[in-house]
Amino acid sequence: MRQRWPVLFLWLLVAAAPGADVWQATPPAVRTAAAPPATLQRIADLVGGDDPAAAKAAVDTALASYPSDAALHNLAGVVSARQDAYAAAEVHFKTAIRLAPQSAGPYENLGRLYQERSGVDDEARAKALTTYRQLLRVDPHNVEGLYQAAFLLALEGQFAESRELVGRLPDDVRARPQALAVLAADLAGLSDRAAAAEVVSRLAAHPDLSAEDVTSVLPALDRASDDRAAQALFEALDGRGLATPQLLHRLGRIHATHGRFVEANAVLDRAARGEPSVPILLDLARMNDKLGKRQRALGYLAHARALDPDNATTHFLFGVICVKLNLGAEAYDALTKAVALEPDNALANYALGAVSIHRHDPSEAIPHFKKYVQLVPDDPRGKFALGAARFYSNLFEEARQDLMQATHAPETAAGAHYLLARIARQTNDLDRARRELDEALRANPDYADAWAELGLVRLRMRRYAEAEQSLERALAIDAENYTATLNLATLYARTKDPRQKDLKRRLNVLQEKRADTAQDFLRIIEVVP
């Protein structure tokens, strides 16, 4: 139903030519305006052949003699469409409709023309739908008009009206795979799960089912809130060996959306073997990251980078996974490249700032977090991250201003109060530091770093028993918390506790683990690709 200007259609066009309708309905005085049927047939033969120049010359010559012949304008529109002369084709089809408004052919051709332009003309799909609506007012039972209007309505998410038009199709047409695919999308969009499942089952068993039948309605399936119909369609095609890499990619994404990462990875792997495109490789990297197979994820990203070296998302994901693998230099290089490719990419700036904050000069992170705040002003994490960067750069007053704003958001309150406490402690305002830590722990009672800092503040206040309680609480939450262990070692040394020797050995072990890790970064700033 969606073929491009088929030769068979040209024969039908001549057999039911608008010129014939005009001849029958036009008074004798103007009958000479219609081209002879033999002329129309000769031009139709040329249009269906392999010499477009000859076809155009013939139709132009005929139009010079018969400028008001609707059939000639219809043929001229087909010739122009085949030569990709869109504007000329549109004019000819519209002229044919004006001259023979009761003839279906020009409407059908104009609708097809608009649909073929939908990839480059944002208004073409709406124009096509308008054309098919006009056709159905002229011929309410026109199969082409009913199907194409239903198809376009489904793509626009107007599922109820689309379903009604599918219901008006003849039984034999309604049972074809193309119509069943539209109906399945309609029912999924209307959340009629039982009916959608029944139609999908019929479609899956249809001997003429093709991947194109399903691919054509993907925009409609994407609009449906329930993806079970889409999943069933993709799996039906896959089971019959008809699924394209594109459809396998879609199926993998559905599995991923529902947290079925193993299944998603298996399907995406097969899609990549068929077509190792960058989008498929990126999703494979995401799935392997979810499954903890990060070295393998980097392999997929390296492949994607080789296919498209200028894809910022590839470099971004590579950098984020390098952070998780404690590959600091590689993470920095990849994220720097991502920001260079897309300077206004908010997440890339955020991630690069997060990595930079733990390099030799933490102030390098500040411009990237400033950029993030500029791009996403309503995200409190931006202000918190900027405050953290300024804190680590010893810009305490500027950091305090950012962090005070971050205390008002639940997701950043605990971290902001924690860093404000550290600023207060470094300026020897221990009472304020304690108050800030109380607020941090009120926001997050299991915040191990805040308990570790509270232990240090109490140690500075010479409240040794309370300090030990705070530090032990931190280690109960996070047994390998380096700061809590360090502060407890300091307390034991201050109080000459005999446990200090064992604790020092443990501290040395943690020191080795801590080298070149990103744990502090991950605790303070979370980046989700």
Nearest to 438 by CA among 424, 422, 421, 426: 421
- pLDDT at residue 3 greater than cutoff 60: no
- pLDDT at residue 520 greater than cutoff 90: no
Nearest to 449 by CA among 424, 417, 426: 417
The answer to whether 389 and 357 are in contact (CB under 8 A) is yes
Confidence at residue 32, expressed as pLDDT on a 0 to 100 scale: 44
The predicted model scores a pTM of 0.77
Confidence at residue 48, expressed as pLDDT on a 0 to 100 scale: 85
The burial of 444, by beta-carbon neighbours within 10 Å (0-12 exposed, 13-18 middle, 19 or more buried), is given as middle
The answer to whether 435 and 453 are in contact (CB under 8 A) is no
- pLDDT at residue 458 greater than cutoff 50: yes
Confidence at residue 148, expressed as pLDDT on a 0 to 100 scale: 97
Residue 47 is assigned to a structural domain of this protein = no
- Residue 493 CA to its chain's centroid (Å): 56
Q: What is the CATH number of the domain that holds 450?
A: 1.25.40.10
The whole-number average pLDDT for the span 380-395 is 96
Using alpha carbons, list the distances in angstroms from residue 72 to 95, 122, 390.
10, 29, 75
- Residues 19-75 have pLDDT tens digits of 333 323 333 333 347 889 998 999 888 888 888 899 899 989 999 999 999 999 999
- Residues 252-309 have pLDDT tens digits of 999 999 999 999 999 999 999 988 999 999 999 999 999 999 999 999 999 999 999 9
Residue 414 is assigned to a structural domain of this protein = yes
Residue 27 is assigned to a structural domain of this protein = no
Residue 441 is assigned to a structural domain of this protein = yes
Residue 202 is assigned to a structural domain of this protein = no
- Residues 97-144 have pLDDT tens digits of 999 999 999 999 999 999 999 889 999 999 999 999 999 999 999 999
Count of domains forming the chain: 1
- Residues 366-380 have pLDDT tens digits of 999 999 999 999 999
Residue 26 is assigned to a structural domain of this protein = no
Question: With bands split at pLDDT 50, 70 and 90, how would you rate the model's confidence at 515?
Answer: low
- Structure tokens belonging to residue 487: 């502060």
Q: From CA 420, how far away is CA 440, in angstroms rounded?
A: 10
- Domain range enclosing 514: 410-524
Q: From CA 111, how far away is CA 129, in angstroms rounded?
A: 7
Residue 436 is assigned to a structural domain of this protein = yes
Residues 6 or more apart whose Cβ sits within 8 Å of residue 353: 365, 366, 368, 369, 372, 385, 389, 525
Residues 6 or more apart whose Cβ sits within 8 Å of residue 289: 297, 317, 321, 324
Residue 345 is assigned to a structural domain of this protein = no
Nearest to 330 by CA among 313, 318, 312: 318
Residues 6 or more apart whose Cβ sits within 8 Å of residue 345: 312, 316, 338, 339
